[in-house]
Structure 1
Amino acid sequence: MLLAASARSASFAPLAGRRAASVIATKYSSAIYNAALSKSPQTLAKVHSELVTFTTTLKQNKDIDAFVRNPTLSANDRAAGLASVFKTLDGAGSKKEPVSDLTKNLLTILSENGRLAEVEGVIEGFNELVSQYNGELNVTVTSAAPLAKDILSRLESTLKQSQTAQKAKTVKVTNKVNPAVLGGLVVDFGDKTIDLSAQSRVTKLNAALQLSV
C-alpha cells in the first residue's frame, strides 16, 4: 500500500509546534501527508476533510471514541470496529462521498500496529503539514485561563509583524488552556516556542536550587 511504503521511506517534512507529539505519531502524520500529496492536491484536500470529520466523530460518538482508545481488543474486534467506523464516515462529509482508501489505510495500519489510540496526534500533525502547504501559520497560545478577545487580537497583530508570519498567507491564533502553566503564556508558531509562563520560571528556579545544594 502507498501509505505503508511512505511510512517506511518518505522524506518527512518538518512539523512545527509538535513538542508533545510522539515520534511514532509524527511518522504516521508525514506518511499520510506524503502519500496523499503524491497522488494530487485534490486527494490531499479530500483526506484532510475526512480526517477533520473523523476528529469530530470522535468527540460526538462515545462508542467510536471508546473503541479507538481500547488497546485490549482482539484482531477480529478491531476489524469489526473499523468496519463500523468506515460505515459511519462514509457519506458523512459535505459531499457525501465514500471514505478514500488512503484514510482507510491509515486507520487500518494504526489499528494493526496497536497505535490507534495515537490517531488524534497523527491527525494533528497531518493538519499542521496541510496548513504549511496552504501557506497558513497556526499560532497556539497556551495560558492558564482563557484569554480575552482583545488580548488575542493584540497578540495576532504583533505576531503578524514577525518574519515567520510575513512568509505566510494567513495567520490563525488558537488559545489553549492549560492550568499547569500557572500564569503567563506559551506561544508556539512556526518552528519557534516563546515560553513566558510562570511554570517555566519555577522549573528554572528548581533547577538552580538543585545545583546549589
Structure 2
Amino acid sequence: MFSSVRSAAPTLRRAYAAAPKVSAPVALQTLPGKYATAAFTSALTKSAATLSQVESDLTTLAKLIENKDKAAAFLENPTLGSSERAAAIKGLASKIPKINETTLGLLDVLSANGRLTTTSEVIKDFIVLSKAQKGEVEIIVTSAEPLEKSVSDRLERALKGSETAKGKTVKVVNKVNPELLAGIVVDFGDKTIDLSAASKVNKLNGLLTQSV
C-alpha cells in the first residue's frame, strides 16, 4: 500500500488502512518496484477491474512519456514546487480518459516524496507485476546486434526452462543496443544479468583506475 512507501497523503493512508491485505505476485526490491507494488496491491485490493483500469492508465502515461508529450515533461523536472507539480499532475490527468483515483494517488505520492523522475521505472515494474499476476513473464534480451534465429531459439528454450519461467507463459523480446559491443543483457522483473562485453570493459577500466 502507498503508506508503505511513506506517503505524504494522509487521505490515501486512511482509505487503504481498512482494506484487506493482498500480495503482489513477485517481490520487487528496487525503490521504483516498491512504489509499483504499493499501487498494484492498492488497485487489486479494490477489484480486478480497478487493477485493469490502472494498468490501462499507466500504459497511456508511458506512451505520453515516450512521445515526449508536453503534459508529461514536468516529470523530469525536479525543481518544480509542490503547487506547480500539483497543477502539472492535473493537466497530465486530463490526457488520460477517466483516470482512476489509484493512478492519481500514485502520482501524488511520487510527487510528495520527490520521486516523479522515477515514473517510467515505476510503470515498467507495475506492468511486470500485472503480467506476473496473469501468469506471464516477459524476458528482455538486449544484444549489440539482432540475434540470429538459431541463437535466439536456443536462448529462448533455456530461459523458458528456468525456475523464473516455471509454470508461466514466457515471452522473450530481443532489443538491440550497439553500445553493448558484444554479448547480451537479460532483464526479467527487477533482475538483470549482464553478460555484455561493455560491462566487462567497464569492470576492467575500474580495476585499472584503482590500481593507478
State the TM-score bracket (shorter-chain normalisation): 0.7 to 0.9
Counterpart in 2 of 1:79? 86
1:121 is displaced (CA, Å) by 0.7
1:87 is displaced (CA, Å) by 0.9
In 2 relative to 1, CA 71–190 (structure 1 residues): closer, same or farther, beyond 3 Å? closer
Looking at structure 2, the residues matched to 108 and 47 of structure 1 have their Cα atoms a distance apart, in angstroms, of: 14
Counterpart in 1 of 2:5? 7
Amino acid at match of 2:166: Q
Looking at structure 1, the residues matched to 85 and 163 of structure 2 have their Cα atoms a distance apart, in angstroms, of: 47
Counterpart in 1 of 2:119? 119
> Does residue 1:31 correspond to 2:24, yes or no?
no
- Kept in 1, the 8 Å contact 2:43–2:54? The answer is yes
Looking at structure 2, the residues matched to 60 and 200 of structure 1 have their Cα atoms a distance apart, in angstroms, of: 29
> Which deviates more, 186-195 or 151-160?
186-195
- Kept in 2, the 8 Å contact 1:6–1:32? The answer is no
- Kept in 2, the 8 Å contact 1:6–1:34? The answer is no
Give structure 1 regions of 4+ aligned residues with deviation exceeding 4 angstroms: 8-13, 148-151, 190-194, 203-213
1:187 is displaced (CA, Å) by 2.0
Amino acid at match of 1:139: I
> Does residue 1:199 correspond to 2:198, yes or no?
yes
Matches within 5 A, 1:85-100: 85-90=92-97, 98-100=98-100
- Deviations 1:66-119 (CA, angstroms, capped at 9, x unpaired): 2211111222221221111111112xxxxxxx1110001111121222211110
Paired residues in the alignment total 197
Q: CA RMSD in A?
A: 3.0
Matches within 5 A, 1:18-167: 23-90=30-97, 98-148=98-148, 151-167=151-167
Matched position secondary structure for 1:80:
helix
1:46 is displaced (CA, Å) by 1.3
**Which stretches in structure 2 are left out of the alignment for 5+ residues?**
7-16
Looking at structure 2, the residues matched to 195 and 63 of structure 1 have their Cα atoms a distance apart, in angstroms, of: 34
1:192 is displaced (CA, Å) by 6.4
1:178 is displaced (CA, Å) by 3.1
